[in-house]
A and B are shown apart, each in its own frame.
Chain A
Amino acid sequence: MTEDSTPAPAEAATAEVHLDEHGQPLSKNALKKKLKAEAAAKKKAEKDAAKAAAAPANSKKEEVEITDPHLYTENRRNAVAQMEREGFNPYPHKFHVDYRIPDFIQEYEAKTTDGEKLQDKQVSIAGRVVSIRRQGKLYFDDLRGDGAQVQVMSDPQTYGDEEAFQKIHKIIKNGDIIGVTGYPGKSKKGEFSIFPTKIELLSPCLHMLPFAKGDSNMGGLTNMETRYRQRYLDLIVNKEIRDVFGIRASIITEIRKFLDDRHFLEVETPMMNMIPGGAVAKPFITYHNDLSMDLYLRIAPELYLKMLVIGGLDRVYEIGRQFRNEGIDLTHNPEFTTLEFYQAYADYNDLMDMCEELVSGLVKKICGSYKIKYSPKPGLPEVEIDFTPPFKRISMIEGLEEAMKTKLPEMDDPEVEAKLLELLKEHDLECTPPHTTARLLDTLVGEFLEDNIIHPTFITEHPQIMSPLAKYHRSKKFLTERFELFAAGRELANAYTELNNPVIQYNLFLEQAKAGSAGDDEAMVMDDSFVTALEHGLPPTGGFGLGIDRLTMFLSNKNNIKEVLLFPAMKPSDDQMALIAKNAPKKDATNTNMSINMAHYSSADMTNEDVLERLNNDLAGKAFVHGISPTKDDAKLLEKVLKADESVIASQPNVLAWTKLLGMFTPEIRASWS
């Protein structure tokens, strides 16, 4: 459609562009393309201006092209208000659509011939106007909807009512949503079009849209910030953005199909947990008011899914959001989507086979071939990645020893950490403390194995110390039955034979807890209820996790995770921050979930029983007004509360406990709290 959609009228400037367009192969260097596009746009703007000046001056205000966006919006707002005053509804409730634009094209393009319209077929379509051209009494509008574009070729004869024809075309501006009823047909030049008998404004666009000029698919909207912040604009003007989300949706649909066909059951497990388990990561913390309880957003669904396998759901999966309170970069967003599945009676060997089938099948289905082109980092050249199964398998320790041409220390060597650190130094590698065996090994694996992987490769048999939920290897000491799938240096999947021995699981949790208290804030947290569940017997089970966002990045050749998320996390812009601050109710200083809103008490009579009861509820689960440390708000409030009758205070247990706690500090100390 891109070529056919160029205007039919024989206008000199557009014809030139037309020619240029045909002369340009798609793969031409982007800068050159852009320059050309800009030059063409400039030319066209000049032409348009000339044309506008030449046009009969019905209403100067509307015909002169306005270039200042604020003025443009102002004018549009006024125009819309004017319509409403005139009893014309610019936001109608309903417009019946016979065909989506892509369906309309598919249905009628082949059935029409040049210069003819099907006068017996009156149909309705709707979409957004992305360009308007006028030639004499004819209007040529391009209408876009659901990823396709069609020309609206409007003439007063077909339209019938000339007055209405003039009126509606005066109203419609670039970016408006309109509904069109008319005949399918083709222009004399062979451009497939709809010839309207009626056009309706469905929703006006009050802003100037930064549309693509010339042949570029990427339009005037190239600023990354704006693209992500105002994704709808990005979707309106940059046509191929929606394709990424089509790919994303089909990946998820295909995965569901793959698993449903194998009798897996899709389940939903909690996203708010009392213990953040199943992975090692910093969690988000939130607070449940009614239960007076801190909750963590899940970092992995693993433990819950295994509990379901214990419960006899032998094959379960969940595709869903995980949350990690980490920095944002090219491959990390605070919330991301994973697949995890668990299959009873399977082990990691079974899962490697399944993983090959699933991943290579997805690549083939979505990209049409096992081989894809991918640029792993911005600026790096594209590499070809071959997903033809079977994938290569490297046992981690053996692979490391081979790559480093040295023998690694044994895991039970009392000086294993010192020796690994020595190795790191030898190779000029850094590892942020604490220098636990797991972290040191991870650094080496990153350097010597992961970074050298291009084609999909399983790194297998991680040491137990790096894998507290994986099962000890059936024949290799200190190792586990685990694998990770890497491609182009990025981790795609992680799986293991699940540890189902409760005694060993308990001890591994204890070790993790030790590491945690030694300063490794990425150590796993002890989860007693999970150990209890294991004691009820988890069958031999293979568990598998896959990053959906990462896979989408591969299959759509994007190297920034923001490109595969519709609304990636962004720090609000200064404008947004100001607005949010303006709109938000005033919060107290410390601004944590544990805080009590002091506004409720600043002018309240604290001797009033109802007020005290409220304070009592607010203090539930807290030591101090702002949670875990005392502040001057505590001191101030205490003074007021102590004016109340003792028996009244005593009837509110949380308030009583709080007054007693504060009473343990001298007034001098209380006065020093900030």
Chain B
Amino acid sequence: MILSSSKILFRRPGFFVTAFVPQSQLRSIVSQKTTGTVTGTASHVRSSRGSYGFSNRLRYLASSSSNSSTEIHETTPSSSSLEELNQKIKDKGDEIRQLKADGVVDKDSLAPHVEELLALKAQLPPEETTKATTPTSKQKKDTLKQTHQKQKNEKEPEKELTESEIKTVRLAKVEAMRDAKVEPFEYSFDVTTSAAKLMLDYKDKLEPGEEDETSDVAVAGRIMTRRVFGKLAFFSLQDESGTIQLQFDKKRLGEEFQGLKDWTDGGDIVGVRGTVRRTDKGELTVYAKEWKMLTKAVLPLPDKYHGLQDITKRYRQRHVDLIVNPDVRDTFRKRAKITSMMRRLLDDMGFLEIETPVLHTQSGGAEAKPFETFHNSMDMDLTLRIATELHLKRLIIGGFEKVYELGRIFRNEGISTRHNPEFTSIELYQAYADYEDMMDLTEQLVCTIAEEVCGGLELPYGDFTVSLHRPWRRVTMHDIVKEEIPDFDFAALDPDDPESLNKAKEVAMAAGVDGIAKLNSVGEVLNTCFEELCEPKLIQPTFVIDYPVEVSPLAKPHRSKPALVERFELFAVGREHANSFSELTDPVDQRKRFEAQAAKKAAGDEEACDVDEDFLLALEQGMPPTGGLGIGIDRLIMLLTNSPSIRDVIAFPLLRPNTDGK
């Protein structure tokens, strides 16, 4: 285990310093396993865990001796000589700064002071420059150096404190705080501003070294990096809005400073009240008058080189991902904005947001395999909805003219970068509209949202740039398939001629399309050709229109083209984003379509649906001509946030159970 190589410190920028700083002392503590006080403290923690009850809630253990905390410090060798040195360096530094402030700027006059400072600094042990509490005794240092050397020679891999060792030490600090009658898990804190707001408020204000003495601000957040120098400490604090530097010194904090040094670690959540100043280096800083531990983090922040490489760990422990990757937070902020805008735009157009059931007695509204569940007291099988379509249409029948539902849909499918078993969609229905209207509405919704969220209509996505400028391309499925299979015209086939199907299959197979053999209609062959040959190539937004009736059981027959329906799907970056029809309103036709589906199901197609008598009954009451539109919200968010996987836009995606027992 390498503890004191300055190289390591430099190799670990940012907050990783934090995770490391305490380790040298921790290591020394932990290594004294058998008799060390920390072990004692740890067992104290364990015993309190085991016997926890209301009577011995730790924080009420009023004044038990503060042994453990003091003993922790006893294990840390005296650092007075180093502190002295540090103080000298600081004083010298202040002197130089003062000189500069007084207008001494010529190099020659400053040179002797700078030399003196450098000489002082040279006396510092190389790696202890940043750590006041690390061992300073020469002997100790030598031992460490030897260890270091030895390990290097043996080319042993770097070894750090394990997570459970760190946890033990941090729990000891929780105890120490309790013993000092300080609550390590505070109840509340009055925050007056945020990191981003401070940056904004003090933009172009305060010269380096200047302090706004009238200011009084309170911020709270997580310690991302932690540097302690003797009587001075700099932390960087991350809140929801960004990061800001904190400065602490003994001069201002008095006794409180010791607690700060002893108890805080990277990852802790603290609240700080103080003034605002700009450091000599020009960094905006909250200069603390008081500080408060709000939540002691028992586990450390992840180490970039191990923790975050594991992509599934990012999804499994999303909270950690959010802490260390600001981009991830931004994605979810955008997600909220996209759904919120979608709602606002539709509300403004007079649409009413509706909640229809998730638990259905009969699955329908899409071709997909449902999840099944069981209601105990009703003794009834239920399925989770695979679409909201049939219920929303019932409401159109009931007299609502514009309705939508933005909500979760469930499909019992495998998981992939495009599929999560539960996902969010919006379905909207507008009476007296048709699929042309829905195309206009889709363009309008997506473009308005993109402009607001992405600031424009040219979106980077992976290696592509997607241009959302209207109007988007509209192409019939026949035409686009013809682009790939130019010598054949599916539209020319007579649907009533049994030979048509064989011809279509031959052509499709010759074009290298898989899964053709089992298909039973020309429409399905055409659709499969489209999916295999064309879909992945559709990078720019494209409405593919006029689908075969065989693959569209809920869409209205085309007003002029036989065997087709008035339907479109929107494609971009090779993926489907929306699906829409002029809704089928004829109950007689709908029954025929359902029967065809039921036949497919009986033949083993698990995604086909049954005849839904209840919905047919509703249709018989008369449904106005209606345009319906469904948009996959997760995929839209992927597009607008340039995210390659659906798991990047779902906070807690479903993952295979972790096999290593965690």
Determine, out of B187-195, B226-234, B450-458, B488-496, the stretch whose residues face the partner at the interface. B187-195
Contacts of B339 in A (CB 8 A): 266
- Give the residue among B221, B355, B373 with the most A Cβ atoms within 10 A: B355
- Give the residue among B184, B185, B377, B436 with the most A Cβ atoms within 10 A: B185
Contacts of B621 in A (CB 8 A): 175, 205-207, 209, 232-233, 236
Q: How far is the CA of A179 from the CA of B625 in the complex (A)?
A: 10
> Contact at A313–B373, with CB atoms within 8 Å?
no
> Contact at A304–B652, with CB atoms within 8 Å?
yes
Q: How far is the CA of A576 from the CA of B381 in the complex (A)?
A: 13
Which one, A147, A245, A477, A579, contacts B613 given CB within 8 A? A579
Q: How far is the CA of A267 from the CA of B332 in the complex (A)?
A: 8
Q: How far is the CA of A528 from the CA of B424 in the complex (A)?
A: 28
Contacts of A344 in B (CB 8 A): 220, 240
Contacts of A576 in B (CB 8 A): 361, 613-614
Which one, A94, A291, A345, A542, contacts B582 given CB within 8 A? A94
> Contact at A177–B624, with CB atoms within 8 Å?
yes
Determine, out of B54-62, B272-280, B502-510, the stretch whose residues face the partner at the interface. B54-62
B319 contacts the other chain (CB 8 A) = yes
B24 contacts the other chain (CB 8 A) = no
**In the complex, how many angstroms separate the beta carbon of B362 from the nearest chain A beta carbon?**
6
> Contact at A290–B239, with CB atoms within 8 Å?
no
Determine, out of A39-47, A54-62, A269-277, A370-378, the stretch whose residues face the partner at the interface. A269-277
Which one, A81, A203, A267, A347, contacts B623 given CB within 8 A? A203
Contacts of A406 in B (CB 8 A): none
A314 with B240: in contact, given A94-B434, A269-B651 (CB under 8 Å)?
yes
A334 with B52: in contact, given A313-B332, A579-B613 (CB under 8 Å)?
no
Contacts of B561 in A (CB 8 A): none
Q: How far is the CA of A101 from the CA of B614 in the complex (A)?
A: 29
A287 with B415: in contact, given A175-B621, A232-B621, A235-B395 (CB under 8 Å)?
no
Which one, A97, A205, A236, A565, contacts B399 given CB within 8 A? A236
Q: B556 — nearest CB in chain A belongs to which residue?
A: A93
Q: B611 — nearest CB in chain A belongs to which residue?
A: A583
Which one, B355, B359, B362, B432, contacts A95 given CB within 8 A? B432
> Contact at A538–B336, with CB atoms within 8 Å?
no
Q: How far is the CA of A323 from the CA of B408 in the complex (A)?
A: 13
Determine, out of B63-71, B88-96, B135-143, B294-302, the stretch whose residues face the partner at the interface. B294-302
B541 contacts the other chain (CB 8 A) = no
Within 8 A of B (CB), among A546-599: 565-567, 569, 571-572, 576, 579-580, 583-585, 591-593
Within 8 A of A (CB), among B406-432: 407-408, 410, 412-415, 421-422, 424, 431-432
- Give the residue among B58, B59, B343, B373 with the most A Cβ atoms within 10 A: B373
Per-residue interface assignment for chain A, residues 83 to 113, with 1 indicating a CB less than 8 Å from any chain B CB and 0 otherwise:
0000000111111110010000000000000
- CB contacts between A and B, total, < 8 Å: 367
A539 with B295: in contact, given A92-B625, A177-B624, A335-B359 (CB under 8 Å)?
yes
**In the complex, how many angstroms separate the beta carbon of B188 from the nearest chain A beta carbon?**
4
> Contact at B188–A350, with CB atoms within 8 Å?
yes
Contacts of B498 in A (CB 8 A): none
Within 8 A of B (CB), among A144-189: 144-147, 175-177, 179
Q: A539 — nearest CB in chain B belongs to which residue?
A: B269
Determine, out of A325-333, A355-363, A389-397, the stretch whose residues face the partner at the interface. A325-333
Per-residue interface assignment for chain B, residues 553 to 596, with 1 indicating a CB less than 8 Å from any chain A CB and 0 otherwise:
00010010000001000000000000000100111110000000
Q: A538 — nearest CB in chain B belongs to which residue?
A: B295
> Contact at A267–B188, with CB atoms within 8 Å?
no
B376 contacts the other chain (CB 8 A) = yes
> Contact at B332–A289, with CB atoms within 8 Å?
no
Contacts of B559 in A (CB 8 A): 93
Q: How far is the CA of A249 from the CA of B399 in the complex (A)?
A: 16
A256 contacts the other chain (CB 8 A) = yes
Per-residue interface assignment for chain B, residues 4 to 39, with 1 indicating a CB less than 8 Å from any chain A CB and 0 otherwise:
000000000000000000000000000000000000
Within 8 A of A (CB), among B290-323: 294-299, 301, 316-323
**In the complex, how many angstroms separate the beta carbon of A130 from the nearest chain B beta carbon?**
10
B372 contacts the other chain (CB 8 A) = yes
> Contact at A206–B587, with CB atoms within 8 Å?
yes
B646 contacts the other chain (CB 8 A) = no
Which one, B188, B343, B359, contacts A346 given CB within 8 A? B188
Q: How far is the CA of A325 from the CA of B191 in the complex (A)?
A: 41
> Contact at A313–B329, with CB atoms within 8 Å?
yes
Q: How far is the CA of A583 from the CA of B381 in the complex (A)?
A: 14
A193 contacts the other chain (CB 8 A) = no
Q: How far is the CA of A349 from the CA of B189 in the complex (A)?
A: 12
**In the complex, how many angstroms separate the beta carbon of A206 from the nearest chain B beta carbon?**
4
> Contact at B295–A100, with CB atoms within 8 Å?
no
> Contact at A287–B295, with CB atoms within 8 Å?
no
**In the complex, how many angstroms separate the beta carbon of B440 from the nearest chain A beta carbon?**
13
Which one, A253, A271, A288, A497, contacts B187 given CB within 8 A? A497
A368 contacts the other chain (CB 8 A) = no
A82 contacts the other chain (CB 8 A) = no
Within 8 A of A (CB), among B254-303: 267-269, 271, 294-299, 301
> Contact at B399–A289, with CB atoms within 8 Å?
no
A290 with B414: in contact, given A536-B267, A579-B613 (CB under 8 Å)?
yes
Q: How far is the CA of A311 from the CA of B295 in the complex (A)?
A: 13
B340 contacts the other chain (CB 8 A) = yes
A252 contacts the other chain (CB 8 A) = yes
Contacts of A242 in B (CB 8 A): 398-400
B657 contacts the other chain (CB 8 A) = yes
> Contact at A320–B611, with CB atoms within 8 Å?
no
Q: How far is the CA of A209 from the CA of B662 in the complex (A)?
A: 60
B122 contacts the other chain (CB 8 A) = no
> Contact at A286–B268, with CB atoms within 8 Å?
no
Q: A130 — nearest CB in chain B belongs to which residue?
A: B399
Determine, out of A8-16, A500-508, A640-648, A658-666, the stretch whose residues face the partner at the interface. A500-508
> Contact at B375–A412, with CB atoms within 8 Å?
no
> Contact at A503–B49, with CB atoms within 8 Å?
yes
A310 contacts the other chain (CB 8 A) = yes
B358 contacts the other chain (CB 8 A) = yes
A268 with B358: in contact, given A231-B398, A284-B373 (CB under 8 Å)?
no
B238 contacts the other chain (CB 8 A) = yes
> Contact at B657–A566, with CB atoms within 8 Å?
no
Per-residue interface assignment for chain B, residues 361 to 380, with 1 indicating a CB less than 8 Å from any chain A CB and 0 otherwise:
11000000101111111101
> Contact at A312–B622, with CB atoms within 8 Å?
no
Contacts of B623 in A (CB 8 A): 177, 203
B118 contacts the other chain (CB 8 A) = no
Contacts of A147 in B (CB 8 A): 399
8 interchain pairs (CB within 8 A)? A93-B625, A94-B433, A100-B350, A272-B410, A272-B421, A286-B372, A307-B319, A311-B318
Nearest first, the 6 closest Cβ-Cβ pairs linking A and B are A311-B322, A235-B398, A537-B297, A232-B398, A205-B622, A347-B188
Given contacts A144-B399, A567-B356, 11 further A-B contacts (CB under 8 A): A91-B586, A245-B354, A246-B352, A256-B343, A286-B372, A312-B323, A345-B188, A503-B52, A539-B222, A565-B357, A580-B361
Q: Which residues of A contact B (CB under 8 A)?
A: 73, 77, 80-81, 90-97, 100, 126, 128, 144-147, 175-177, 179, 202-207, 209, 230-236, 242, 245-246, 248-249, 252-253, 256, 260, 265-272, 274, 282, 284-291, 293, 295, 297, 304, 307-308, 310-315, 320-321, 323, 325-328, 334-335, 337, 344-347, 349-350, 411-412, 464-465, 471-472, 474, 477-478, 481, 497, 500-504, 506-507, 529, 532-540, 542, 565-567, 569, 571-572, 576, 579-580, 583-585, 591-593
Q: Which residues of B contact A (CB under 8 A)?
A: 45, 48-49, 52-55, 57-60, 167, 171, 174, 183-191, 220-222, 238-240, 267-269, 271, 294-299, 301, 316-323, 329, 332-333, 335-336, 339-340, 343, 347, 350, 352-359, 361-362, 369, 371-378, 380-382, 384, 391, 394-395, 397-401, 407-408, 410, 412-415, 421-422, 424, 431-434, 436-437, 556, 559, 566, 582, 585-589, 598, 601-602, 610-611, 613-614, 617-618, 620-625, 650-652, 654, 656-657, 662
